[in-house]
Structure 1
Amino acid sequence: MHLKKILAIALVLASHSIGWSQSKLPNFIIILADDLGYGDLGSFGHPTIRTPNLDKLAIEGTRFTQFYVAANVCSPSRAGLLTGRLPVRNGMYGKNVVFRTNSANGLPLDEVTIAEALKTRGYHTGIIGKWHLGHLPQYIPTKQGFDYWFGTPYSNDMGKVFTTDTTREDIKRLTASIKNPPLPLFKNDQVIEEEPDQTLLTKRYTSEAVNFIKENKDKPFFLYYPSNFPHTPLYASSDFKGKSKRGLYGDVVEELDWSVGKIISTLKELKLDKNTFVIFLSDNGPWLIQKDHGGSAGLLFEGKGSTYEGGMRVPAIAWWPGKVKANAISTELATSLDLFPTILQWAGVQAPTDRPYDGVNISGLLTGESKNVRNIIYYYESNNLYAIRKGSWKAHFTTHPSYSPVAPEKHETPLLYNLDNDPSEKYDVSKLHPDIVEDLKKEYEKQIATVVPAPPLFDAVVGK
């Protein structure tokens, strides 16, 4: 184990509070969808995708309407969730945008993940699904705090086939040019299959997740379930294919909803529900260039790869019967960065004190005991700060449409939107509120001066 990581974990061990007895430590489950849009669930307004299990989860728990992620694409978003730190702090950026099949780096070994912190309290930790934080042996999940892993090291389009839609000429050309190795399926540190049948992937993940819960029902556990879907290529099992009015994308989301339902029913059957915190969210907004194979941001503007709301505001549902407020809709600001300090607080673990954190403890927000836990959201594009939200107001200092060949546009006077009144970012009101613009400029300058980007890690490749 990396020396800096050993020292950081030692700090956690030395400073954890008593809080819970070992037998009553709560369990934690994070379910992360891939490229699911803000508007893709029934409880978030989709008219034809049926998500009864997630809708029920929202009724039994809290649905967040203003929940953000740390980045607008996969790898940096996942790094932020697991470490509670903005990706720019640990080099989770680069020209490549995410880790690739030939990447030489991974999540830095001196970073402390939720899994590593929880292991200091005796938690059994597992990841079922997509990692995407380094595929080389020294960076895989079992070297980053997870006792068990079943899944893929990166996205499901990083194998031999880019998408299931081979009728489009642009997809045909792209698929023909792919030089990736076969997509591997890992069990712990071993590749057990290449190019697994993705129509069965959600069912296999669900079975693995249920088994993990059953095997650890008598000890505290942390399960991280980052699904490969609904990232393209889209695959649904025969039980779901062709069943959704929304087409194949809807089939895939509805099967993911079924998977969540199986996990929740397992918790209830084992009488673990009242001692388990579950949160469901997406890693970023919908991949709009995939057309009908991508999702929808609903009333939000833009999607994955942008710093508009559709790129970084995601559907999020929190659940813990008797603990998390039930039948609640929260309009407060919260982020995936906040999961690290919140989970550690509930587990009675203090985060290492040798580094700055960007997440805040939202336990009071989840239980309904407090409001306004955080007031600022930072929107980074790679290592560049593009926008800031403070309260209701969002200022765009630089804008760039997702996956657009045009250069980013810098704004001498930032574009200003009141997101409570205008969540679709249609009406720039900067001329009406110069005082707010000036305040957000100061926040921008403060953030730039305070957070110095670490060297980028996405661009180094094996053999070079």
Structure 2
Amino acid sequence: MIQGNRNRIAAFCLGFVMWIGIQTIDGKEIQENRKPNIIILFADDLGYGDLGCYGSNLIETPHIDQMAMAGMQFTDFYVSAASCTPSRASLMTGVYAARIGLEKVVDDLSTKGLSSEVLTIANYLKQDGYKTALFGKWHLGHHPEFMPRQHGFDEFFGIPYSMDMWPFHPKPSHNYPAIPLYHNDEVIEYNPDVNTLTQRLTAKTLDYIKANKDEAFFVYLPYPLPHVPLGASKQFKGKSKAGLYGDAVMEIDWSVGQIVQALKKLKIEENTLILFSSDNGPWLSYGDHAGSAGELREGKGTTFEGGQRVPFIVSMPGTIPPGSTCTKLVSSLDVLPTILDITNQSLLKTIDGKSIYPLFLNPQAETVNQAFYFMNGRRVEAVRLGQWKLHVPHRYRVVNKVGGNGQPGNQDNFGGSIGLTLYNLEIDAAESKNVAHQHPKVVEELTQLILDFEYDIIKNSRPAGIIKIERW
């Protein structure tokens, strides 16, 4: 009897301690043992200079600016490529796109897609018990075996590739079919209204967050805008000093605000990591329907800073120091390993990225001084190590005449030429002064890095997923 009473008393004490452990302090639940939620917000063709917190005085982005004030803003963040498909492939997998056969943009005619042998952020998180969803633009292959639900996402609502790959393209490379809007594996609509797309994707995201507030979730929201064709709802059309482009960015900013507000209302903001960025720099040939790279040189489609250095903001109140700025060299390759680090998971395959979670805690933390390679297709055109960026000889895209009102201008993908050129980005982010002659040892070291890396890409890569299409 005494032993039985002791057991009951022990059980009561344990239950009481567990009850105390989930009580609230100032209305906030203590969630020490709960896995953090992850939200990635990924704009399309947004330039380095298009946000207020990155220097824009034309486009008002109060919600994204507030996210930066509540979290950390990165000055030297790069995506792995200056175009849609390879950039997104690296974000999802942590490897350079050339390693997995997705170094070029895919479209409705492509037979390529993300291989089932490659693990994505969603694959890792789903196997760890997360609810996973993608609302927006995929662009890693449109055939059934390449679509999001085959790569770890429980739910998908969005489009398989860019909105301009549709019948209304002003200067199409071929006759594009109607662009499908999917819910999971079914097409529910064709040629969705671009003016309401941001609102619809935001609504889907908010519903998902509310439905899964008591479980760990991963939401990937790759906005199809401000890539052309531009659009904005009545609420935002005509609101910006930067025309329709600015209106589209302001609506994305509103979307970010809605998501942050929902997290606060549900009292899960402190247990949610939000990351905001862009897939590449602005498509300059579209003129007033394109963004700005700020002081950076060139834009989308080039390996200059304007093509691949983009905004990157992270927020997680209580974990990431508010109002902080990090000037370290980091990239989209680092997103997957960082998320795995935060969620206490191990990598199952070798990747190119590294965890930057220590920087989220302290922007001055010591990190591995790792080289970053700027690739165009399978060729390395430049490398950055620390403050130094070396371009090897290559031709690059130039805009001979800008377009306007949704019409593309004249761009020549091989119109520019650069020789062996070294820049000190610490004092010359605009890549305007060649200092190669003053630093021959640096040039030699970086040149060798490129040669070694190109060999490694050849040696350690695997093909994309391929489907066979019988043509009569």
Question: How many residues in Structure 1 have an aligned counterpart in Structure 2?
Answer: 426
Match of 2:161 in 1: 154
Aligned to 1:40: 50
Q: Match for 2:146: what amino acid?
A: Y
Higher relative contact order (CA 8 A, sep 6+): 1
- Which of 437, 440, 444 is the aligned partner of 1:431? 437
Q: Contact 1:102/1:462 (CA < 8 Å) preserved in 2?
A: no
Of residues 146-155 and 436-445 in structure 1, the stretch that sits farther from structure 2 once superposed is: 436-445
Query: Deviation string for 1:230-268 (max 9, x for gaps)?
Result: 000000000000111110000000000000000000001
385, 404, 408: which one aligns with 2:412 = 404
User: Which of 60, 64, 77 does residue 74 from structure 2 map onto?
Assistant: 64
Measured in 2, the distance between the counterparts of 1:322 and 1:373 equals 25
1:393 to 362, 367, 388: 388
Question: In 2, are the aligned partners of 1:103 and 1:462 still within 8 Å (CA)?
Answer: no
Change (3 A) 1:31 1:288: same
Do the aligned residues in 1 keep the contact of 2:396 with 2:415 (CA within 8 Å)? no
Pairing partner for 1:91 from 101, 116, 131: 101
Which runs of structure 2 are paired with 1:32-431 in the superposition (5 Å)? 32-93=42-103, 97-162=104-169, 171=170, 174=171, 178-353=174-349, 356-368=350-362, 370-402=365-397, 403-406=411-414, 409=417, 411=419, 414-431=420-437
- 8 Å contact 1:148–1:188 — kept in the other structure? yes
Return closer, same or farther for 1:293/1:75 CA change in 2, 3 Å cut-off.
Answer: same
Aligned match of 1:5: none
* Secondary structure, counterpart of 1:348 in structure 2: coil
Matched with 2:27 is none
d(CA) in 2 for partners of 1:387 and 1:183? 35
Sort the Cα spacing of 1:47 and 1:366 in 2 relative to 1 into closer, same or farther, 3 A.
Answer: same
Tell which structure's C-alpha radius of gyration is larger: 2
Structure 1 residue 461: deviation in Å?
8.2
Q: What CA distance in whole angstroms lies between the structure 2 residues aligned with 1:277 and 1:86?
A: 24
Task: Give the match for residue 16 of structure 1.
Answer: none
**CA 1:419–1:60: 2 relative to 1, 3 Å:** same
Contact 1:28 1:278 (C-alpha < 8 Å) held by counterparts: yes
Which residue of 1 is the match for residue 400 of structure 2? none
Deviation, structure 1 residue 375: 3.3
Q: Give the 3 Å change call, closer, same or farther, for CA 410–294 of structure 1 in structure 2.
A: closer
What secondary structure sits across from 2:92 in the alignment?
A: helix
**217-226 vs 436-445, which deviates more?**
436-445
Root mean square deviation of aligned Cα: 1.9
Q: Deviations over 1:344-385 (max 9, x none)?
A: 1111211114xx311100000111172344432110001001
The amino acid of 1:133's aligned partner reads L
Task: Return the letter of the residue paired with 1:112.
Answer: L
1:433-462 CA-to-partner distances (Å, cap 9, x unmatched) read 111111111211221222217477599884
Residue of structure 2 equivalent to 1:8: none
8 Å CA contact 2:114, 2:465 repeated in 1: no
Indicate conservation of the 8 Å contact 1:123/1:220, yes or no: yes
Scaled by the length of structure 1, the TM-score of the pair is: 0.88
Match of 2:449 among 443, 447, 456: 443
Q: Which amino acid aligns with 2:431?
A: E
Conservation of the 8 A alpha-carbon contact between 2:146 and 2:465? no
Deviation at 1:102, TM superposition (A): 1.7
Aligned counterpart, 1:10: none
CA–CA distance in structure 2, aligned partners of residues 99 and 350 of structure 1: 31
In the alignment, the residues of structure 2 paired with residue 350 and residue 409 of structure 1 have an alpha-carbon distance, to the nearest angstrom, of 43
Which letter does structure 2 place at the counterpart of 1:129? G
Look up the equivalent residue of 2:293 and give its one-letter code: A
Question: CA contact under 8 A between 1:395 and 1:417: conserved in structure 2?
Answer: yes
Letter in structure 1 aligned against 2:426: D
> Equivalents in 1 of 2:467, 2:415: separation in Å?
24
